[in-house]
Chains A and B, each alone.
Chain A
Amino acid sequence: MEQKKSKGPLVIKTLIFGALSGALYYLLFSNVDWVTTTYTMGGWHTVYPVGTALVFSFVHGTFASNFLSLLGIEPKGGH
């Protein structure tokens, strides 16, 4: 059996991305009036919602991935 890897770096990564994700959500919801106005102006402003969705999915998605690994939920064969 292969020796189990230390979970230390994973914990740190999870915490960093978790904090980043939390900060993004805080930033968006604490400026909700500006956000909802600017994001719905149409035309080239479409970059705002599309870009935000991409950034959130990268940061929050990485957090979710690390968090699941931390819980021991991994794909079969540990890809």
Chain B
Amino acid sequence: MKRLFIALAIILVCCFTASAVLAGGGGPPKNLIKGFFLKVNPDHTAVFKMDVTGVERTLKLPEDMKAEDIPMNRKVLVTLKTEGHEITDEVKHVSIMFIDIPASKVVALLIVGLIGGLLSGFIGSGGAFVLTPSMMSLGVPGAVAVASNMCHKFPKAMVGAYKRWKYGQADVKLGLVMAISAIIGVQIGIQIQKYILDHWGNAGSNLYVSLMFVIVLVVVGGYVLYDAYKLQKGGKETETTKIALALQKINIPPMIHFKQAGITISLWFTLPVGVATGMLAATIAVGGFIGVPGLIYVIGASAVVASATELVIAFVMGMWGSIQWGLSGLIDIRLTVLILAASLFGVQLGALGTTYVKDYMIKVVMGAVMLIVSVSRGAKIPEYLAQLGLRSPLSPETAALYDAISFWALVAALAAAGIIISVAMIRGMLQARAEGL
């Protein structure tokens, strides 16, 4: 079985590399270019040498950008202004591609990596929602943060999935079926995003993403937490939901048996959950927040199996995404391996932690994290409403306050998860030791 796992991983790498190369990339926005500035001209333009091709272009600088703001002879990412679908030659934003990484930033990356990994190993997803903004707050350009994080996510998920498969928790078949349908979902999600971007612009798109984020996280997270509370109070073991039981009884071929999860269900019911996971992954970058509850409440898997299976999905989708971002050359491998240094410890700790806790603890952590994270996005909504002219503009102080709430809510979610998991794990370990297990 170990060999089968490795063989599957290799086949997937080959398939996705081929499909990603054929698809000609994707991932980052098309108005993003990378290269070096060679000189700034007196007419407020600058000569820019494109990376790889070496083609030189003259770019127009915006009025508020001074010559000193242009970093010379350092690899930069330049966002160009767009007019409708047309990409202009005018610079919108310049950021240095490879930030300097002093010891303090290394420590920050290791801490976030460790707790992110712990969360990921325990609930199957998470970490990414806080890693990307954390990297950005360290000065990493957004596209590089997303790319480097994605490249760290899939090997971490692979290690976590392997561990949890060894513990008899991950259902590889269910994970692969879900992952393939999730990739279809991602494509649909991207099309919806494009439609919104074309009709309502950047602020409209941001507002849509934030609203989706808050609604999904509050509704689903609230329900997961309520379910966990009921289970804890009643002292009962987890029961399969009525919906899942009803769906499992409907015989529409092809019926698939998932051995590890102990479920036989029609493919037509797993597909929508997978597609929804992918759509959400494309929209709010945390597909697992719908994937795991979907596996539990719609498909009928236990929380332990669902969170373990989510790691298989995260591996496949993360690898697919990494190849896409890598094709555009945006992965900063230094950041990837620095986060991996700690997250590979975290993910294995989280994975073995699940063997010591009751099923509902996974739901407690998941629900709590989802609700706290929703505050983070909710705090961004007033700014987007103001950008769309739906409310009065925010004062700089209020905007800064909302930004601070948004960032610190993420940190709080991570800290809360780290504490709940550690306490539950240590209690479980002490109890097991006392019982001589």
Contact = CB atoms under 8 A, between A and B. Distances in A.
Contacts of A61: 155, 159, 344, 348
Interface stretch (B183-191, B321-329, B386-394): B321-329
Nearest to B341: A60
Contacts of A29: 334
A25 B52 CA distance: 26
Given A45-B329, A57-B156, A52 B337 contact: yes
Nearest to A36: B98
Given A40-B331, A53-B155, A73 B352 contact: yes
A32 B326 CA distance: 17
A75 B155 CA distance: 21
B331 A49 contact: yes
Interface in B14-34: 17, 20-21, 34
B151 A49 contact: yes
Given A41-B52, A57-B340, A46 B355 contact: no
Contacts of A40: 34, 51, 75, 97, 329-332
Interface string B330-370: 11111011001100110011011001100000000000000
Contacts of B351: 75
Contacts of A20: none
Contacts of A65: 163, 348
Contact of B340 (A1, A48, A50, A60): A60
B154 interface: yes
Interface in B141-189: 151-152, 154-156, 158-159, 163, 166-168
B108 interface: no
Interface string B74-103: 010000000000000000000001100000
Interface residues of B, number: 51
B345 A39 contact: no
A28 B344 contact: no
Contacts of B348: 61, 64-65, 68
B98 A50 contact: no
Prevailing SS type, chain A contact patch: helix
Contacts of B334: 28-29, 32, 35-36
A50 B151 contact: yes
A40 B244 CA distance: 46
A43 B327 contact: yes
Contact of A53 (B17, B20, B154): B154
A42 interface: yes
Contacts of B327: 42-43, 46
Contacts of B332: 36, 40
B349 A68 contact: yes
Nearest to B351: A75
A75 B52 CA distance: 48
A57 B155 contact: yes
A15 interface: no
Contact of A64 (B155, B158, B331, B345): B345
A36 B166 CA distance: 36
Contact of B333 (A41, A52, A75): A52
B437 interface: yes
B319 interface: yes
Contacts of B345: 64, 67-68
B432 interface: yes
Greatest chain B CB density within 10 A among A1, A43, A50, A64 is at: A50
A40 B143 CA distance: 13
Nearest to A35: B333
Most B C-beta atoms less than 10 A away, residue of A35, A36, A74, A76: A76
Interface of A: 1, 25, 28-29, 32, 35-36, 39-50, 52-54, 56-57, 60-61, 64-65, 67-68, 73-77, 79
11 contacts: A28-B333, A35-B334, A39-B329, A39-B331, A52-B336, A53-B151, A53-B337, A54-B155, A56-B155, A61-B344, A76-B432
Given A50-B151, A50-B319, A54-B158, 16 more contacts: A41-B51, A41-B52, A42-B327, A46-B322, A46-B327, A46-B331, A47-B326, A49-B322, A50-B326, A53-B337, A56-B340, A57-B155, A60-B340, A61-B155, A61-B344, A75-B352
